[in-house]
């Protein structure tokens, strides 16, 4: 399944709409006022699904990932010179990014691709295409993309 992840143009805080292949809204993401980034994820009906919270006072960006109210993992940017590097402590996943920090692959421990994330260039707002073959992984892959995008804003 492919998702189109678009940041809203007129928004004081980070807000996003996520569309399916047919242009239907699947998820909305609302930024909340707090110390560091705080993003709330809702389904198309408005039900709360998850939260991304940035930990403040860290050298590199570090985020907690919640499904509902339960902490399910963390993601943090690591210092690297030539390629973006993120350490994810969730589901046994690994993230690999390209030199320009535009495209990413998420894989499990066995090397099986969980998701491919591609940034669309020449857009007024951040726009990503997220390709997730297994529908079970959509929400978690979306939360990883949100954390990566928030880390790039620092």
In the chain, where the domains are located: 2-74+119-152
Q: Is the pLDDT of residue 63 over 90?
A: yes
Q: Token digits for 144?
A: 């990883």
Q: Could you tell me the pLDDT band of residue 12, with boundaries at 50, 70 and 90? A: low
From 9-18, 72-81, 132-141, the region with the lowest mean pLDDT: 9-18
> What is the three-class DSSP state of 148?
helix
Q: How many CB atoms lie within 10 A of CB 55?
A: 14
Convert the pLDDT of each residue in 97-130 to its tens digit: 887 677 899 999 999 999 999 988 877 777 889 9
């Amino acid at each position: 399944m492919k998702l189109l992840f678009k940041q809203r143009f007129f928004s004081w805080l980070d807000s996003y709409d996520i569309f399916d292949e047919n242009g239907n809204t699947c998820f909305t993401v609302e930024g909340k006022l707090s110390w560091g980034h705080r993003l709330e994820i809702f389904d198309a009906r408005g039900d709360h699904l998850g939260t991304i919270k940035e930990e403040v006072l860290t050298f590199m960006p570090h985020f907690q990932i919640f499904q509902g109210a339960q902490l399910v993992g963390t993601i943090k940017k690591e210092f690297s010179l030539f390629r973006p590097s993120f350490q994810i402590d969730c589901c046994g996943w690994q993230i690999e990014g390209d030199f320009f920090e535009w495209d990413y692959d998420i894989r499990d421990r066995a090397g099986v691709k969980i998701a491919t994330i591609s940034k669309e260039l020449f857009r007024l707002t951040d726009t990503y295409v997220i390709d997730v073959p297994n529908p079970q992984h959509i929400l978690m892959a979306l939360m990883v993309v949100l954390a990566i995008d928030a880390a790039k804003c620092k």
